Amino acid sequence: MVQIAFGVVMAAVLAAIGGIIVVLFHNAKDRAKAKNQNISAHDVEGAVAAKYICYPRAKASAPVIRVPENRWEAVRKSGECELMLDIFCNDGCIFAERVSSGIFDALKVGSRMTVSYALNERTRERSCDRIKRHT
């Protein structure tokens, strides 16, 4: 009788260990899938919808404000601002992108461009990779 009870206890322990191993294996597989997200690249036509300056820089703790156009020069001299473009793409995507001062000065509202962006298929999140101005 003791041997049967011992056999049942051992079988239960082995089944529990096997169950834990299966759960850990499935969790590891799910984590690997999460790291290998399905990301697709897209090149679309777009145009500058708006140019604006945000003050102070986004990493500052103060609230960010949009600077009126008649104050741009004074704020740009301070160096504590972000030069921003709103870009509307033909496929319906909208990007607000920080740009360098050279790009900011060269582009006007309505300037046509090609936008390259990556789309995360799982989360549907888009990130702009490259902006190429049409000449």
pLDDT along the chain (135 residues), means of 10: 86 89 79 67 90 78 80 85 90 89 90 89 84 82
Q: Tell me how far apart the alpha carbons of residues 15 and 24 are, in angstroms, rounded to a whole number.
A: 14
Q: Tell me the two tokens of residue 119.
A: 């789309």
pLDDT of residue 33: 63
pLDDT of residue 45: 93
Q: Is the peptide bond before 56 cis (omega within 30 degrees of 0)?
A: yes
The reported pTM is 0.62
pLDDT of residue 87: 92
**Cα end-to-end distance, the chain, whole Å:** 90
- Burial (CB count <10 Å: 0-12, 13-18, 19+), residue 21: exposed
Closest CA to 87 of 68, 104, 65: 104
